[in-house]
Amino acid sequence: MNTLGVSSAYPKKDFPAVVRFCIGCAKAVVSLLLLEAAGVAAQNKQPPPPPPSRAMETRPAPNHSGTGRGGCTPSDTTRFARGGCGNSDGGKGPNSGGSPGATQPPDPTQVIVYHPSYGMPCNFGPVDSSGGASEARAALLDKDGPQLPRIFNMSSFSVMGFVKGSWPVVFDYQLEKDSLLIVVIAPEGQEPILYRLRGKAGHWQSRLKVPANVGGNPVVAQYVLQSLDDNMGQVSPAHLHVHGVAAGPKAVGSIGIDQVAFGPAMIHLNKNEKAHYMFHSISDFKNVEVNFVRIANDHGQIIAARIGKQGAGSIARNEQKNGDWDGKVDGGEDESSYPPEIQRWLKSATGQHLLQVRAWYGAKDGDWATALSENFVTVE
């Protein structure tokens, strides 16, 4: 089992911007925790709370993923390669989600030691909207879709995308134990919006409604999903699988991209074997990109890094797309900016990998979605 010592997962040049945003996120989370503590202290003095607001709704995740929750598994290579991973088993696969007792997806076995240089790992720049930087970020999202850090921690999952007032936003996630689960949505130039999601063990989809006062035009925002131990005293990030995030009415039914399948379980480079992938869309999207994400384990937290990508054009509602991956690493211009240990991990020819699909409309509408496979492919 390989072990890597990692001092930081971000290029040094990004530290000031990242730290500024992280401080803002940390303050927001602390505020939420203080409000919760005050509520607990006063609960015996207050009348019963009103019925839950429709601004947030949590339900068991539906059984329509192609990675075991309602279809053939990626290890069924022949049927999978033919695109035959539909909902043929009635949602009774080995990882049937949709219940608190759903089977956990497999965890990576490669180990890295991950030591970021700062606490709250929110992974993008400051949330101010001044100058040309904000326009550049909007142009990036318009052209290249929702942006995740090159390297990220699933327990502190963050993505940059557009947001509008009154938008629905859906998070699809799985917890192996009860946890404190917090979402921060931080539109540029505005105060962060905080939510606490259902943190019970199980596979869930939480649907939120963005406040109307965010405005009617798409603005760049940071979305952060943070999991923490649900206990008293010192806490640490809790184990979390993120399966997808979608924002906007055109992207949200559940998650706009579903049935994300990736297999077989292992391919061998010296035999020229290829991995196969498939995904389905519940909406029309103007732009789609497939990313290959290397994963490793750090004391129960999943660390992920993008190591390759393929353009997939556009996709129509109810359309299914599939393709192949030869298991080779594309590299990237930014590799040299990372510490040597990270560079070796990124450049290694072998490893364990998830499939990520990103789909988006562009700046005019703003809607977007990203989804990840549950199973991974090991490249040997």
Residue 44 lies inside a defined structural domain of this protein: no
Q: Alpha-carbon torsion 193, 196, 198, 203, what sign?
A: positive
Q: What is the pLDDT of residues 314-340, one digit of tens each?
A: 999 999 999 999 999 986 667 777 778
Residue 320 lies inside a defined structural domain of this protein: yes
pLDDT at 94: 29
Whole-number Å distance between alpha carbons of 162 and 254: 18
How is residue 220 written in tokens? 């760049």
DSSP assignment of 123-146, as one string?
-S------HHHHHHHHHHHHHH-S
**Per the structure, how many domains does the chain have?**
1
Residue 153 has pLDDT above 60, yes or no: yes
Residue 126 lies inside a defined structural domain of this protein: yes
pLDDT at 83: 37
pTM of the prediction? 0.75
Residue 3 has pLDDT above 70, yes or no: no
Residue 47 lies inside a defined structural domain of this protein: no
Q: Where are the alpha helices (DSSP H) in the chain?
A: 15-41, 77-81, 131-144, 340-347
Residue 46 lies inside a defined structural domain of this protein: no
The answer, yes or no, to whether the previous bond of 264 is cis (omega within 30 of 0) is yes
Residue 195 lies inside a defined structural domain of this protein: yes
Cα Rg, the chain, nearest whole Å: 20
φ/ψ of residue 337, rounded to 5: -85, -5
Residue 281 lies inside a defined structural domain of this protein: yes
Residue 49 lies inside a defined structural domain of this protein: no
On whether the CB atoms of residues 149 and 116 are closer than 8 A, the answer is no
User: Which domain, by its residues, includes 224?
Assistant: 3-39+54-379
Residue 276 has pLDDT above 70, yes or no: yes
Q: What is the pLDDT of residues 30-63, one digit of tens each?
A: 455 444 444 433 444 444 444 444 466 777 766 5
How is residue 174 written in tokens? 């799985």
Q: Is residue 149 packed enough to be buried (19+ CB in 10 Å), middle (13-18) or exposed (0-12)?
A: buried
Q: What is the pLDDT of residues 90-125, one digit of tens each?
A: 333 323 334 444 455 666 665 554 454 433 344 343
- Which helix (H) or strand (E) segment is 179 a member of? strand 179-187
Q: What is the pLDDT of residues 9-32, one digit of tens each?
A: 334 444 333 334 444 554 455 455
- Residue environment code for 351-371, b if the CB has 16+ CB neighbours within 10 A, otherwise e: bbbbbbbbbbbbeebbbbbbb
On whether the CB atoms of residues 106 and 70 are closer than 8 A, the answer is no
- The β-bridge partners of 370 are 245, 358
Cβ-defined contacts of 313-317 (< 8 Å, 24+):
313/287, 313/288, 314/284, 314/285, 314/286, 314/287, 314/288, 315/281, 315/284, 315/285, 315/288, 315/359, 316/281, 316/284, 317/281, 317/282, 317/283, 317/284
φ/ψ of residue 24, rounded to 5: -60, -45
DSSP structure class, residue 7: S
On whether the CB atoms of residues 136 and 27 are closer than 8 A, the answer is no
Whole-number Å distance between alpha carbons of 253 and 100: 21
Whole-number Å distance between alpha carbons of 19 and 126: 8
Whole-number Å distance between alpha carbons of 170 and 86: 23
Residue 89 has pLDDT above 80, yes or no: no
